[in-house]
């Protein structure tokens, strides 16, 4: 099976590594919750046990997911840019409303934090464009003010 490489910023990689470390550190605490709940007897009607087991499943699933992401990660290089590409910070003018976004891979995307995916409609529209360039996006004129 061929794995697709996953693009991450250096910051995004560090965040995932920190999350992984925290999840791994939480394993003994979750195991203790399971052991404590098990001591109450009948497991079929033991809500504490079911909840702790569910917490364990979620944590272990996320650990595997992060390990897979990190194994296939390609870190996006920083530096001066002349065109919009992955890792670029773009200052945009949406018809008088200015916003700043960083273009990231889909794994790292979080529009509320100003991180937009290169696979999103606006991300696709931005790729390869230069500072000063204008384009139509969903009926609105967008101008790229600056690229870092």
How high does pLDDT run on average in the chain? 91
Residues 142, 120 share a domain = yes
> How many domains does the chain divide into?
2
Burial of 95 (0-12, 13-18, 19+ CB in 10 A): exposed
- DSSP 8-state class, residue 118: T
**Mean pLDDT of all residues in 20-48:** 89
SS3 per-residue string spanning 67-90: HHHHHCEEECCCCCCCECCCCCEE
pLDDT of residue 45: 76
Q: Which domain holds residue 61?
A: 6-75
Could you read off the pLDDT of 86-129 as tens digits, one per residue?
A: 999 999 999 889 999 999 999 999 999 999 999 999 999 999 99
pLDDT of residue 3: 64
Residues 68, 28 share a domain = yes
Decide if pLDDT at 1 tops 60. no
Question: Is 81 domain-assigned?
Answer: no
Residues 53, 10 share a domain = yes
pTM: 0.79
Q: Residue 106 and residue 115: Cα distance in Å, rounded?
A: 9
> Comparing C-alpha atoms, which of 72, 70, 71, 75 is closest to residue 86?
75
Question: Is 30 domain-assigned?
Answer: yes
Decide if pLDDT at 40 tops 80. no
């Amino acid at each position: 099976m061929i794995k697709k490489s996953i693009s991450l910023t250096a910051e995004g990689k560090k965040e995932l590594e920190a999350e992984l470390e925290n999840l791994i550190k939480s394993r003994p605490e979750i195991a203790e919750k399971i052991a404590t709940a098990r001591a109450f007897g009948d497991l079929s009607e033991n809500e504490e046990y079911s909840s702790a087991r569910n917490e364990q499943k979620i944590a272990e699933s996320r650990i595997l997911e992060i390990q897979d992401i990190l194994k296939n990660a390609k870190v996006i290089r920083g530096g001066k840019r002349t065109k919009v590409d992955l890792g670029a910070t773009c200052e945009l003018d949406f018809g008088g409303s200015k916003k700043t976004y960083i273009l990231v891979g889909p794994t790292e995307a979080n529009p509320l934090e100003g991180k937009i995916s290169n696979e999103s409609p606006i991300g696709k529209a931005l790729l390869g464009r230069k500072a000063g360039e204008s384009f139509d996006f969903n009926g609105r004129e967008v101008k790229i003010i600056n690229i870092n």
